[in-house]
Structure 1
């Protein structure tokens, strides 16, 4: 009898666990499933076949709720679709923002962006119509408006993210930032039709109906575009901006004659010696340069152990920032050149001498102070700890207000720490410029964000991979495709750790997979 009771109890426990495992993640009140299912959970039930919606399919729910993101006032929306967006708590950093299109016919025009609605979808069918995933078979009576003027979360999505997971963003309002039109629009070219946009991480399609009231307006050469992602009949995602305010034109980027293509922050051996100036940065010229005629400067920042914010930005000096002037030598378009320690060794003590490389500046940064600012330090480039960075400037005068031509930040923890940025007032930190990684305009708020750490400017590369035999770090190669004429990255830079050795040759840093190239 005792064994029977034991087995009955065990069976009850197993059954309880299995039932709980089958429940959806939703809101519960005293153990009762919410009548609402999130778009995130509902989309998971769809398997690219018509799906009749009932409480079993929807795991106890019969409705969805969310904020309206569709807009018919400008005429650029699929007919009859009321599109709503919602999210739920998922955990583990998963973004659960999802949109859902509901076909209610002509009454869809009655709803405005920001309306909060509840929609009873039980009895409807989730299916594709002309490529667009939507709930059909409902009347407008299924919709109950409960509020208006609600805020909407708009994720910033790169073309690479969109193409990798289009279903995630289908029927969802997103922003694609720092895009350029390809080819560059001619004078008088308008929005109407399908246009190719490039954000440096791939290409996407911008779609405008001929009936849109902005269809005949001039197409900007560069903009942040906010819109809803719909599939077309070929199952390709398209971005439909809802009105002309969804296009935020950006100033054209100033091309940089010098771009950052790699760096060695941790050569093998010890840095704790005034003779160990082994660290260096690799650049590429995007035009022919005579540095005696057109000088530049390079500044590195190191925030290890910092107790104050860099109130003067890149010009802070001391052990925080170190400046090297580039005032002599020449370089040809597309040629790599180097700035760093006077040792001119490829990977520290005992490694290949690369004096034959194009060294535009080689200084004893361990014994000598920087040009104008920067205290002699054995670490030109940080290799651990708080975020660090590299910037190149036009001319040899760098102040708190100077804007770099190119900049790259790397390392540190999330969120940004180490006295690197303060929102103020006044806002202080290291200024950025418009690159493949950074933007001086926030794509979501459309407000200026000129300093690293402010707004969406939080991207940074990881630290270099460490090595052994002998101990040291890899060379960080930054590979992308740059257009010198427009200043845009057709393909944004990505990090590739190059394994180093004492016998490595210069050609191995300047050739191979993942090097930066120029588009023309």
Structure 2
């Protein structure tokens, strides 16, 4: 069984690193500089550190996050991270053979005067430190860990290098074959970008089987080679890789929605979906539920089945659609409100006058099926027509503002989620189960739609694995009364399938 770590904020370093001025002594310069400020001193060339260029400081404080014993780190290197001035930053220390004496969680101070701030193959280091320059002052039981999307890592590598991060719900590309191990460079993809996972051939876990899907924790390292700069993720130990079961593909995914048609919203809002396999809805039933949380609301004890004015259900029990085709659920078959282009030629699996007809099983008739302002709203697709507090959806999209839609309990209540491009049923930091929107790390939501626009959700979905190769993002498509159906079914930002 894998060992579970709880990662908590670091408070023990408060005395080790502060601002450049000592607030408790009138005008006295602090002897400690935050790592974020130290790294900012590097301007592209080596810098020998002194009290002059350190504004009177002479040390940094930090917590060791590297693991020399496991071997997936360059020899003689200790990596520390430090959270000060609302910034978590890390740096590599070159201290030679003494590096083997430090382990994860060691709280240290480092005398940096006389050391050189430099870049080695792209990554910032402190070079020229003596073994005695690093002093252990405590042992901390936990480390600060951030869960980040690969896109954030790629966009701001300097912010993340030499800190501890997790890239969650990533798949190994190509899919590992029998005999494939961690050793060397592997590509992992979380749907928001691709990052190289690096394991030294001498690492203790180099010969272990690499999983097809996992939450990958490690230390980001900037690597420059051949005129290009990339960021790699170096796992420290085998336990840094938390294998996940492969996600089963959903037959239906949410691809777009119109929340604000021209004129009255009554019966003119709709949801665009895509089939990832051939479906005969009369044989295999599905359902779709929308939630609208206008005003101040308690977390719904019945989840998506809260009903009344907060959720509305459509049963999908008739009609057929082929793999890769868009289909629609909603009100009237017009692209942008009354009198606009008739799109009845599209595949409509359910067209209901929702302003006068109650939802199937729950939901009162409503003039506002899909919120276009205010608190968070959502859309969920379910297999079958039974939806209650315990039912887990196939796909979920949440968008909009805030609102009270989750309560930690016990018992937990709210809108259940599933594994999607934005949500995970396993917390990538604590490795505990998290099954609701608003619980744990499941706080992401899409932006509110632009006024009068169709929200097109662009992404690439792997129909064979159930993974989002490119996570969904919102593109607002401006519509007019004469817009053709192709306006919302083509372009560069609509959802596509990888077969």
Same-fold status (TM-score > 0.5) = yes
1:364-410 Cα shifts (integer Å, max 9, x gaps): 11111111111111111111111110000111111111111100000
2:117 to 123, 126, 145: 126
CA distance in 2 between partners of 1:26 and 1:70 (Å): 30
CA distance in 1 between partners of 2:262 and 2:56 (Å): 61
Correspondence for 1:186:
177
Structure number with greater Rg is 1
Correspondence for 1:108:
99
Deviation at 1:25, TM superposition (A): 5.1
For the residue of structure 2 that corresponds to 1:245, the secondary structure is: helix
TM-score normalised by structure 1 residue count: 0.90
Deviation at 1:133, TM superposition (A): 2.1
Please give the residue correspondences for 1:131-150 in structure 2 after superposition, counting only pairs within 5 Å.
131-150=122-141
Correspondence for 2:391:
402
CA distance in 2 between partners of 1:107 and 1:308 (Å): 56
Deviation at 1:77, TM superposition (A): 1.2
Verify the 8 A CA contact 2:19 2:34 in the aligned structure 1.
no
Verify the 8 A CA contact 1:24 1:59 in the aligned structure 2.
no
1:456-477 Cα shifts (integer Å, max 9, x gaps): 10000111112xxxxxx21100
Tell me whether 1:196 sits opposite 2:187 in the alignment.
Answer: yes
1:24-50 Cα shifts (integer Å, max 9, x gaps): 755433221211111111111102211
Q: 499-508 or 302-311: which moved more?
A: 302-311
Change (3 A) 1:332 1:125: same
CA distance in 1 between partners of 2:408 and 2:19 (Å): 41
CA distance in 1 between partners of 2:325 and 2:278 (Å): 9
Tell me whether 1:160 sits opposite 2:155 in the alignment.
Answer: no
Change (3 A) 1:66 1:26: farther
Correspondence for 2:485:
506
Deviation at 1:317, TM superposition (A): 1.3
Correspondence for 2:74:
78
Instruction: Name the Cα RMSD after superposition.
Output: 1.4
For the residue of structure 1 that corresponds to 2:413, the secondary structure is: coil
Correspondence for 2:62:
66
Tell me whether 1:28 sits opposite 2:23 in the alignment.
Answer: yes
Tell me whether 1:315 sits opposite 2:305 in the alignment.
Answer: yes
1:108-152 Cα shifts (integer Å, max 9, x gaps): 111111111000010000112344321111111011111002532
1:492 to 438, 455, 471: 471
TM-score normalised by structure 2 residue count: 0.93
Number of residue pairs matched by the alignment: 478
Correspondence for 2:288:
298
Please give the residue correspondences for 1:431-446 in structure 2 after superposition, counting only pairs within 5 Å.
431-446=416-431
CA distance in 1 between partners of 2:51 and 2:146 (Å): 30
For the residue of structure 2 that corresponds to 1:108, the secondary structure is: helix
1:241-295 Cα shifts (integer Å, max 9, x gaps): 1101111111111101111010001112123xxxx30000000111111111111
Correspondence for 1:245:
239
Verify the 8 A CA contact 1:479 1:516 in the aligned structure 2.
yes
Flag as ranges the 4+ runs of structure 1 deviating above 6 A: none
CA distance in 2 between partners of 1:129 and 1:350 (Å): 64
Correspondence for 2:51:
55
For the residue of structure 2 that corresponds to 1:116, the secondary structure is: strand
Change (3 A) 1:27 1:464: farther
Correspondence for 1:17:
none
Verify the 8 A CA contact 1:227 1:240 in the aligned structure 2.
yes
Please give the residue correspondences for 1:333-348 in structure 2 after superposition, counting only pairs within 5 Å.
333-341=323-331, 343-348=332-337
5+ long unaligned stretches in structure 2: 1-17
CA distance in 2 between partners of 1:247 and 1:25 (Å): 38
Verify the 8 A CA contact 2:164 2:218 in the aligned structure 1.
yes
CA distance in 1 between partners of 2:76 and 2:24 (Å): 35
Verify the 8 A CA contact 1:297 1:325 in the aligned structure 2.
yes
Tell me whether 1:454 sits opposite 2:469 in the alignment.
Answer: no
CA distance in 1 between partners of 2:192 and 2:306 (Å): 33
CA distance in 2 between partners of 1:26 and 1:214 (Å): 45
CA distance in 2 between partners of 1:104 and 1:244 (Å): 25
For the residue of structure 2 that corresponds to 1:144, the secondary structure is: strand
Verify the 8 A CA contact 1:39 1:64 in the aligned structure 2.
yes
CA distance in 2 between partners of 1:188 and 1:319 (Å): 55
CA distance in 1 between partners of 2:292 and 2:414 (Å): 12
5+ long unaligned stretches in structure 1: 1-22, 91-95, 467-472
Correspondence for 2:12:
none
CA distance in 2 between partners of 1:132 and 1:228 (Å): 12
Deviation at 1:73, TM superposition (A): 2.0
Correspondence for 1:10:
none
Correspondence for 1:430:
415
Correspondence for 2:206:
215
CA distance in 1 between partners of 2:249 and 2:224 (Å): 39
Q: 298-307 or 279-288: which moved more?
A: 298-307
Deviation at 1:306, TM superposition (A): 4.5
Verify the 8 A CA contact 2:19 2:85 in the aligned structure 1.
no
